[in-house]
Amino acid sequence: MLPAGWLHAASLAWPGHGAALWWLQLLSLALLCKALLATPRRRDGALLGWLFGTSWLAGTFWWLFTSMHTYGGLAAPLAAAGVLALALFLALYYAAVCALFKHFNFTHRAVNALVFAACWLLAELARGVLWTGFPWGASGYAHISGLLFPLARWVGVYGIGAAAAGLAMLLAQVRRSDLRDPKIWAMCGYGAMLLFGLHAQRQLTLNNYRHEQPPLSVALLQGNIPQDEKFQSGTGIPLALQWYSRQLYASQADLTLAPETAIPLLPQQLSPGYLDGLRSWFSTWGDHRAALVGMPLGNAAQGYTNSVIGWSPAEPSAYRYDKHHLVPFGEFIPPLFQWFVRMMDIPLGEFSQGALVQPSLHWAGERIAPTICYEDLFTEELAARFAQEAQAPTIFANLSNIAWFGDSVAIDQHLHISQMRALEFERPFLRATNTGATAIIDHRGNVVQQLPSAQRAVLTGEVTGHQQRTPYARWMAVTGLWPLAAWALVVLGLALWQHRRGKLRCATS
């Protein structure tokens, strides 16, 4: 199961070229399903799920070692143990649902697929929500293309993951004799027709849509400030202040984005006139230019926030967005873990939380909604911004600094996360990052332009906003993840009822 789990991790972003391989995700999960069907006991099923999950998750976010050891100063054995411990803990969800699947032990193949899909969905939801949630590397992210991506506008990444789990279980149950069974081919044909219909409906909707506003010219700044120098007063700080201010003043774009903590100092720590000069510059350009820039705000008495400030002629005062979903150990310290954080050297490691729904930046007829770093991982939180159609974002702007993880596969994984959000909400995504992936993603989920990683450069291009809400955005804004959880629980409830009926029949016959 360890190799199968590693292949599952690699399907999310293949090492080397970073592509998401939807077919590999299905095949690797089918290997787990095949092993589950072959084992007779629940505890064996739990062990298989735990091994697969541990290998998959450790292979997905191994780059946490870089942040803890290389930049956090934690001893290498402790950093490696920390990554493994997190993977082992999160894999318990998959161990539990694999044991639950073995509890039913159905023989009908379609029922097995449905029950396994429900089990898998519950595990993914639990990982994404409990303990502040860490759904990075959810199986649905392998499907930004391929067979299942048209489902994104209906059921999102978790629904795609459940559909993939059901399909993997069906693949695991294929027998050689099925190749001669017309019923099997008919079912495959019906499934293909359904997916083709969803794809055609999506294409028709997108092709018929006409946006009222002209394209917005954008400039996305990628400073490539080394993480080990980023907060150093003699190297990274002056470099960042000089380079980003120069690019902001020189930009000819309607909207300029600078990444998370592009300005690495608090306002009171900056030279007099630094921020006032930028605000004054953007407020004097009439209807032409605006900017969003990442920087920390606050003080010791009121607390600190990881924030985005913005300037535009339309705003009488500076726009502000405060990060809502904070990173454990990086931006806040969970209870009982102060000792662990004291072993690392991470500046400004305790932030205050912003509100879940905050106003977008209204500029050039668009509503531009910032997210900071891995906030775009939490689809249910972004969906909350679509509750009122008149205030729903038309463009998302993600400002990130994942230099903490080096030039690793985390860059590609995060890009795929933004692509999935674009597919779910049919909104363009602008990504301004310190080291990558700085990119423009259209409302179809396609990467239109992208800078090479680990280079200091500016990406210029155009983006067109989008107004219509997808079915996913509509129902998620009202209910959150509950309908997905309810579907899984109903399926498992019916399976439990059928299982008990079958046992009762055996006992009375």
Question: Which pLDDT score, from 0 to 100, does residue 302 have?
Answer: 86
In a domain, 397, yes or no: yes
User: Residue 123: enclosing H or E segment and its boundaries?
Assistant: helix 109-129
Active-site residue flag, 119? no
Distance CA 34, CA 20 (A): 23
Distance CA 352, CA 429 (A): 26
Average confidence (pLDDT) over 173-189: 70
Distance CA 216, CA 288 (A): 10
Question: Which pLDDT score, from 0 to 100, does residue 348 have?
Answer: 47
Average confidence (pLDDT) over 337-361: 74
| 152 and 250 both lie in a single domain | no
Question: Which pLDDT score, from 0 to 100, does residue 336 have?
Answer: 57
Distance CA 414, CA 173 (A): 33
Evaluate whether 229 touches 240 at the Cβ level (below 8 Å). Answer: no
Average confidence (pLDDT) over 10-38: 95
| 241 and 366 both lie in a single domain | yes
Find all residues with CB under 8 Å of 125, minimum gap 6, and list them: 158, 481, 484, 485, 488
Active-site residue flag, 366? no
- Total number of domains in the chain: 2
Band of residue 4 on the pLDDT scale cut at 50, 70, 90: very high
Average confidence (pLDDT) over 123-130: 97
| 109 and 47 both lie in a single domain | yes
Asked whether residue 404 carries a pLDDT value surpassing 70, the answer given is: yes
- Residues 95-118: tens digit of each pLDDT: 999 999 999 877 788 899 999 999
In a domain, 205, yes or no: no
User: Residue 220: enclosing H or E segment and its boundaries?
Assistant: strand 216-222
Distance CA 271, CA 267 (A): 9
Band of residue 342 on the pLDDT scale cut at 50, 70, 90: low
Question: Which pLDDT score, from 0 to 100, does residue 179 have?
Answer: 67
- Residues 420-431: tens digit of each pLDDT: 999 999 999 999
Catalytic residue among 323, 375, 381, 426: 323
Evaluate whether 237 touches 268 at the Cβ level (below 8 Å). Answer: no
Evaluate whether 212 touches 366 at the Cβ level (below 8 Å). Answer: no
Tokens of 340: 């662990």
Cβ-count burial 423-433 (b if 16+ within 10 Å, e if not)? bbbbbbbbbbb
Backbone angles phi, psi at 320, to 5 degrees: -140, 135
**Hey, how many other C-beta atoms are within 10 angstroms of the C-beta on 8?**
27
In a domain, 187, yes or no: no
Find all residues with CB under 8 Å of 111, minimum gap 6, and list them: 495
Asked whether residue 506 carries a pLDDT value surpassing 90, the answer given is: no
Band of residue 497 on the pLDDT scale cut at 50, 70, 90: confident
| 13 and 153 both lie in a single domain | yes
| 463 and 486 both lie in a single domain | no
* Percent with pLDDT over 90 in the chain: 72
Catalytic residue among 124, 260, 380, 426: 260
- Residues 292-333: tens digit of each pLDDT: 999 999 998 888 999 999 999 877 789 999 999 988 866 766
| 455 and 496 both lie in a single domain | no
| 221 and 319 both lie in a single domain | yes
Q: How far apart are the first and last CA of the chain?
A: 39
Asked whether residue 341 carries a pLDDT value surpassing 80, the answer given is: no
Band of residue 507 on the pLDDT scale cut at 50, 70, 90: low
- Residues 133-172: tens digit of each pLDDT: 999 999 999 999 999 999 999 999 999 999 999 999 999 9
Average confidence (pLDDT) over 184-194: 67
Residue among 365, 422, 499 at smallest CA distance from 206: 422
Asked whether residue 13 carries a pLDDT value surpassing 80, the answer given is: yes
Catalytic residue among 33, 98, 119, 373: 373
Query: What Å distances lie between residue 6 and 57, 60, 62, 83, 139, CA to CA?
Result: 8, 8, 11, 15, 12
Range of the domain at 416: 216-469
Cβ-count burial 125-134 (b if 16+ within 10 Å, e if not)? bbbbbeeebb
Residue among 263, 259, 289 at smallest CA distance from 275: 263
**Hey, how many other C-beta atoms are within 10 angstroms of the C-beta on 355?**
9
Band of residue 501 on the pLDDT scale cut at 50, 70, 90: confident
Question: Which pLDDT score, from 0 to 100, does residue 3 have?
Answer: 95
What is the CA angle 163-15-172, rounded to 5? 30
| 443 and 494 both lie in a single domain | no
In a domain, 266, yes or no: yes
Asked whether residue 374 carries a pLDDT value surpassing 60, the answer given is: yes
**Hey, how many other C-beta atoms are within 10 angstroms of the C-beta on 5?**
29
**Hey, how many other C-beta atoms are within 10 angstroms of the C-beta on 331?**
21
In a domain, 270, yes or no: yes
Average confidence (pLDDT) over 442-454: 96
Question: Which pLDDT score, from 0 to 100, does residue 286 have?
Answer: 52
In a domain, 152, yes or no: yes
CATH number at residue 359: 3.60.110.10
In a domain, 186, yes or no: no
Question: Which pLDDT score, from 0 to 100, does residue 107 have?
Answer: 77
Active-site residue flag, 33? no
CA dihedral (263, 411, 424, 83) positive or negative:
negative
* 34 vs 508, more confident: 34
In a domain, 163, yes or no: yes
Distance CA 222, CA 214 (A): 25
Distance CA 399, CA 370 (A): 7
| 86 and 17 both lie in a single domain | yes
| 118 and 168 both lie in a single domain | yes
| 169 and 31 both lie in a single domain | yes
- Residues 27-63: tens digit of each pLDDT: 999 999 999 999 988 999 999 999 999 999 999 999 9
| 269 and 160 both lie in a single domain | no
Question: Which pLDDT score, from 0 to 100, does residue 267 have?
Answer: 94
Asked whether residue 491 carries a pLDDT value surpassing 80, the answer given is: yes
